[in-house]
Amino acid sequence: MPDKSEIVIALGNISDTNTSATITFGNGRTRTVNLQPRASQIVREEHPTSGAEWVHISVDGMAGSIVPTGVTSFNSVIRFYDPTKAKQSNLYANGLRIKGTMPRMVLENITRSPIAVLPKIIPLGGSGAALTLSQISLGANETREVDLSELTQAASRRTDLDIMSVEIKNWAAPGSVIGSLYAVNRTGGEYDVPLRDSGPLRSMTGAYPWRIDGDYKSIAYVTNITDDSVGFAAEIAYDGGNTALDHELSNHAKLPSSTWNKSAATK
pLDDT of the residue at 256: 33
Q: According to DSSP H, which parts of 15-141 are helical?
A: none
The phi and psi torsions of 97 (rounded to 5 degrees) equal -100, 120
For residue 148, the domain's CATH number is 2.60.290.11
pTM of the shown model: 0.78
pLDDT of residue 209: 65
Residues 163 and 259 in one domain: no
d(CA 47, CA 49): 6
In this structure, the chain runs to a length of 267
Let me know whether 54 and 143 are in one domain: no
Query: Domain ends where: 193, 213, 241?
Result: 193
Q: Which of 245, 226, 228 is nearest to 236 (CA)?
A: 245
- Rounded Cα–Cα distance for residues 32 and 43 (Å): 10
Q: What span, in angstroms and rounded, lies between the C-alpha atoms of 83 and 176? A: 7
Of 177, 193, 209, the residue that ends a domain is: 193
Domain holding 260, by residue range, is: 201-267
**pLDDT given for residue 19 in this prediction:** 93
Q: Is residue 121 domain-shared with residue 176, that is, in the same domain?
A: yes
**Helical H runs in the chain?**
149-155, 257-260
Q: Quick one: 183 and 264 in the same domain?
A: no
Please check whether residues 174 and 93 belong to one and the same domain: yes
Residue type, 83: P
The domain total for the chain is 3
How high is the pLDDT of residue 127?
Answer: 64
Q: In this predicted structure, what is the pLDDT of residue 58?
A: 93
My answer on whether 165 and 104 are in the same domain is yes
Q: Which of 161, 176, 193 is the last residue of a domain?
A: 193
Are 26 and 122 part of one and the same domain? no
pLDDT in tens, the chain (267 residues): 777 788 999 999 999 999 999 999 888 899 999 999 999 999 999 887 777 888 999 998 888 899 999 988 776 788 898 888 888 899 999 888 888 888 999 999 999 999 999 999 988 776 668 899 999 999 999 999 999 999 999 988 888 888 888 999 999 999 999 999 988 887 767 788 889 887 765 555 655 667 778 888 877 777 777 777 777 777 777 778 888 776 433 333 333 333 333 333 333
> Is 242 exposed, middle or buried (CB count within 10 Å of its CB: 0-12, 13-18, 19+)?
exposed
